[in-house]
Structure formats: C-alpha cells, structure tokens
Structure 1
Amino acid sequence: MSKPKSVWEEFFADKRSGGHRSSAEEFILKEAKEKLFHLDGGERLLDFGCGAGELLVYYAPEYERLVGADFSASMLEEAGKRIIEKKHENITLILADDKTVWEKLDSSFDRITAAGVIQYLTDEEVDNFIANASKHLNKGGKIILFDLLNPRLYPLWKIGLFSRDFGCWNLFRKIGFEVFTIISAILKNRPKDILGYTHKPCTIENIANKHGFGMEYVQSMYYEYKYHAIIS
C-alpha cells in the first residue's frame, strides 16, 4: 500500500510553475542573482523544492554539479524541459519529498538550498530537514533557506499594506477576500493559505543552533514579507 499524499503534495500535483512574483525571465534572473550572492560559491549544490527549475537553470553555470529535488512530478517535468532548453548537462532531477530525498542522494554538497519551500514544513519538519541536511553537507558548507514567510510582515502584506494603492477601500476588500478564501478552502478541504506556514526567525535560529550551526537573518530584496536564513 502506498503512503497517503500530504495536503501539499495533492495541491501541487498538477502545478507547472513556481510561486514567483513574476514569471518574466528578467525578474527570475534578478531573483537568481540575489540568491547566488547569498549562496556565495561552492561546487556542488542541492536545490530542494526546485519546482519547475526557474532558479535552478540560473544556478547551473556557477556549479560543477547540481541536484534538483521536488515532490511534484509535473513540476519536475517542466524543470526537465528548461534544462534541455538551456543545455545544462550538470543537473540531475529527483522526485522526492523532505523525508525521502536523503536516501536518494549519492553524494554530499557544498550548498543545500530551499527557496519558497520551508513555508510548507512545520517547525518539527524544519528541524528534521536541517538535521538530515547537515549529514550531507561538506566541510565549510552552508544550508540556505530562502524566502521564509515573516510572521510579522506577512499579515500586513496580505491586507495590501505594501501595495501602491493601499487605502481603506482596498483594505476592506482584501480582508473580505481572505475571509472568502478561508471559507472556500474549508468547504473544498483545501489548504486555507496556499503559501503555508510562517516561521519566526528566532525559531529557525534556535533549530540551527541546536544542530551546531549559526544563522544569519537577511531580508529578501524582492518579497517584502519574506526573509532568508543563512545557516553555516
């Protein structure tokens, strides 16, 4: 008997694009450059939750070998198309989730990253992810968790505080939309928030410290309500 799918596996089962603010190549390139700056070198990289490979193909020229992992077969199919289109021969794709990916790896890495993924993991699952990642990290390596939802800023973003047209009318409209979304999700037995869970920076730092790492907190350049956790 196969194990039951998680609510997130079901939600992303037929998705074919990542949750980037814009799908324009110009924007993806800017986002990739920011992330490459924080990745800061290394030769071998594991991109967990690589999705459709939008960022992975921009990482490829900077690394000797890359592995992209995701639990969505449709996402990996799109990633495969991008890899062929960009003619990158140093990328391997793996169908796996945060629990099964580790048993499918045949090497260790200088950088282990996850962008826009940790929001779909509970604190306990983040703890397990960092613990497992540390066992597959080369000496001097880093675990970099990109685009975590900031619990202080995310609610403000949801009501439109950071939008250019913020005002009373849009505030009430946003709140009404959020209420409708929650009720609709309950009725359809779907996630109440497609962006998942928020994580306090201090919680991630405590987990990192628990496993012998330090953590640097960095505000995202392109998402006002997200931050990066650089663990080394």
Structure 2
Amino acid sequence: MPKPKNVWEEFFKDKKHGGHRYSSEEFLAMEAREKLFHLDGGKTLLDFGCGSAELLTYYAPEYEKLVGVDFSPSMLGEASKRIKKKGCNNIDLILANHETLWEKLEFSFDRITAAGVIQYLTLQEIDKFIFDASRYLNRGGKIVLFDLLDSRLYPLWKVGLFSKDVNCLKILRKAGFELQTVVLASIKNRPKDILGFAYHPNKIEKIASKHGFKMIYVCSMYYEYKYHAIMFRA
C-alpha cells in the first residue's frame, strides 16, 4: 500500500487553488489578517504548502523576504502568476515536499508556517517536520501550524452539526454517508478522508514539547472545526 502522502501528492498535482472556504479576495484578506496576527512579526517567513500563494501574497507586505513551498507543480504555477500580478518581488518559490524541502533552503527564518497542510502528515512525519523546522528557525522565532483538523470537532462538522439548517434526519444521512465512505476507502486501500488526519491538540503539543517548544492553540476564526498551533521556545 502506498504511503498516504503519495496519494495526496498525486491528488494535488493538477490542482490550482487552495481549500479556502471562499475564494473571494475579501475573504482571503480577512483570513490572512487573522494569520498575520498569530504570526506576530518577524522579517523572514517560510510558508510550507503555500498552494497558489493566496495567503502568501497577503503576507508579503509584512516581511522582507518570503519563501513559498509546495509539492504541486500546478499550484506553484498559479502562485507564480499571482505573485507577478500582485507585484510581490520579495517571494521565492520552491517545489518540494516535507522531506526534500530542507536541503533546498539557503537561510533560516523568523517564522515557519503551514496552513491546512500539516494534517496530510502522520504524527511521525509531523515530529520530523518540527525537528527539521527547528534547525532553520532563527532565535526568537516561531513555528505556526494553521488550520489543523480538530479530532473533537471535525466529526461533528462532517455530519452537519454546525449547519444552520441542522436536523436529526440530515445528521443520520450524513453519518451514513461518512460510514460508507470509510468502508469503501478501507476496501480500496485509499485515504479515508481527503482532508487528512484529525489530531487532538494535546498530541501536537506533546511533539512540540519533545523538541523544546512551548505551544498554545487557538480556534480558527473561519473554520469551526480547525485550530492553530503556535510554537515558540521556552
């Protein structure tokens, strides 16, 4: 059976837009402002899983130098177009995944971030990612992992509990559909959820502590079933 990451890299290789709730510039600007608040400064930023640079171009005015990384050639193609359109001359792009990224970097960063992508890694891979990131983090820097799936809330969202028109019949229907999806995925040896793994914040915090970081987590403003993990040296 192939590793889940290979399945996801195959899935995203031809995609051109990120998984934001809305694609309007107004929404992207609001989402970026929330994330900039938690990034809280710094002069250099590495954005792993930058996608088509929908957020990265909003980060650009706040930093001297930015590097966007993604394993999808089509995403980076769109990112390049968007960066040129927005006139963001301080952004470089790198084609790499969480394993090949580090050997391609030429300097360290004040902020290392990822939005909506870390859940595609196993806990072991997250452990290695944080370890590798810590070696490229400047003194006083932060690792900020945005929009992780919360294992306590994500199942409730999937069955429609947060919908405005929620009712018992709709919940039962969605629960049945999700069960069918999981069973079929198991039979066909494919990921059970294309959005990735849902992790309790305590599991991520344990990994952060292992590598000498303190971590706080906050709920996402725009995705009720996600949270942000903010890591910094004690």
TM-score over 0.5 for the pair: yes
Q: Which residue of 2 aligns with 1:153?
A: 153
Fraction of identical pairs, as percent: 68
Distance 1:22 1:189 in 2: 31
TM-score by length of 2: 0.94
Distance 2:145 2:230 in 1: 6
Equivalences for residues 74-85 of structure 1 within 5 A:
74-85=74-85
- CA shift for structure 1 position 179: 3.3
User: What CA deviation, in whole Å up to 9, does each residue of 1:37-96 have, x standing for no partner?
Assistant: 000000000000001111001000100000000001011111111101101100000000
The yes-or-no answer on 1:57 pairing with 2:43 is no
- CA shift for structure 1 position 177: 2.8
Q: Which residue of 1 aligns with 2:223?
A: 223
Secondary structure at 1:142 match in 2: strand
Secondary structure at 1:171 match in 2: helix
Q: Which residue of 2 aligns with 1:43?
A: 43
- CA shift for structure 1 position 176: 3.1
Over 3 Å counting, the alpha-carbon distance change for 1:188 and 1:15 in structure 2 is farther
Q: Which residue of 1 aligns with 2:121?
A: 121
Q: Which residue of 2 aligns with 1:20?
A: 20
The yes-or-no answer on 1:207 pairing with 2:199 is no
Distance 2:23 2:172 in 1: 28
Equivalences for residues 181-200 of structure 1 within 5 A:
181-183=181-183, 185=185, 190-200=190-200
Secondary structure at 2:57 match in 1: helix
> Aligned residue pairs: how many?
229
TM-score by length of 1: 0.95
Secondary structure at 2:112 match in 1: strand
Over 3 Å counting, the alpha-carbon distance change for 1:126 and 1:194 in structure 2 is same
Secondary structure at 2:42 match in 1: coil
- Choose 171-180 or 123-132, whichever is displaced more: 171-180
Q: Which residue of 2 aligns with 1:102?
A: 102
Amino acid at match of 1:156: L
Q: Which residue of 2 aligns with 1:29?
A: 29
Distance 1:179 1:216 in 2: 33
- CA shift for structure 1 position 182: 3.4
- CA shift for structure 1 position 191: 2.4
Q: Which residue of 2 aligns with 1:139?
A: 139
Q: Which residue of 2 aligns with 1:177?
A: 177
Distance 1:108 1:142 in 2: 12
Distance 2:98 2:213 in 1: 20
Distance 2:186 2:209 in 1: 37
- CA shift for structure 1 position 24: 1.3
Structure 2, unaligned runs of 5 or more: none
Equivalences for residues 88-99 of structure 1 within 5 A:
88-99=88-99
- CA shift for structure 1 position 27: 0.9
Distance 2:11 2:98 in 1: 16
- CA shift for structure 1 position 7: 1.1
Distance 1:23 1:190 in 2: 28
Distance 1:215 1:172 in 2: 37
Secondary structure at 1:214 match in 2: strand
Distance 2:127 2:24 in 1: 34
Distance 2:183 2:124 in 1: 27
Secondary structure at 1:6 match in 2: helix
Structure 1, unaligned runs of 5 or more: none
